[in-house]
Amino acid sequence: MNALNLGWHCKSLDSQTTLRCGTYPTCSHQTNALAFKGSESMGHALKIPFGNTSARRRLRNHIHPPLRVVCVDYPRPDLDNSVNFLEAALLSSSFRSSPRPSKPLKVVIAGAGLAGLSTAKYLADAGHKPVLLEARDVLGGKVAAWKDDDGDWYETGLHIFFGAYPNVQNLFGELGINDRLQWKEHSMIFAMPNKPGEFSRFDFPEVLPAPLNGILAILKNNEMLTWPEKVKFAIGLLPAMIGGQAYVEAQDGFSVQEWMRKQGVPDRVTTEVFIAMSKGS
């Protein structure tokens, strides 16, 4: 379980107290439950400390039936019929349906992360011969997973996939791994550099369409940003939000920091929020 991604919500279910995890819990679709006692997923028990015996007794007396913790998947958004998704599917299928090259290219790809692996996949679809170079003995880059000496699986969990990433979603569909994604509510959780152990959230409300929900998420954050920073950040992002993909592609000549400075966004916001967010997606 990644501590950086915890966001618990308490609700009542069939007269039992239930904690719902809407983030990246380590659980299986078969059990649909987090393993607290003995924690099968990570090999560690989660212990909830109580200072004295009376606290334990009060807990026993007041919680009946006992506390349950379950994982509830967030509903997958309806992506398959969106224009972006259909365009991505058409582009992907063109690699497989195009004429086979008479002289396949041997293409060397440095790095077997998500970009390298997907590039190799599409080059192979087009009839070429990709060669992947990876310094580590684990594939996947920031989405790598490996088994330790005790037989437990670990994953870095550093990637965020938004519903608005049609090419990635289409790739997962082609590989038949859509069911391995767990959708979560649209929130971004940041570790606060100046306050170790504390986190700050940006919650994007569903009641508003994008990009309005993004502006509201910025304005509602009170732990990480000051009001002057929030206002400058929101105003600075407006051209990209309104201009859409055409505007974004027209900014290719700028680095992120150059564009942010041009928009009047403070450097601290760029470093601690925007670049940190980009490294995780």
Residues 6+ apart with CB under 8 A from 279: 158
Average pLDDT of the segment spanning 141-167: 81
pTM of structure: 0.58
Among residues 73, 129, 139, 141, the alpha carbon closest in space to that of 101 is found at 129
Q: How does pLDDT run across 172-230, given as a tens digit for each residue?
A: 889 998 887 878 878 888 888 778 888 888 888 888 887 788 888 888 988 888 999 98
Q: How does pLDDT run across 80-126, given as a tens digit for each residue?
A: 888 888 999 999 999 999 999 999 999 999 999 989 999 999 999 99
pLDDT score, position 183: 83
Tokens for 26, please give them. Answer: 């380590």
Is residue 178 within 8 A of residue 170, CB to CB? The reply is no
Tokens for 51, please give them. Answer: 């200072």
Domains of the chain with CATH codes: 3-71 (no CATH), 83-180 (3.40.50.720), 187-279 (no CATH)
Is residue 161 within 8 A of residue 170, CB to CB? The reply is no
DSSP string, 75-106: PPP--TTSHHHHHHHHHHHHHHHSPPPSS--E
Q: Which residues pair with 108 in a beta bridge?
A: 131
Helix (H) or strand (E) holding 277: helix 276-279
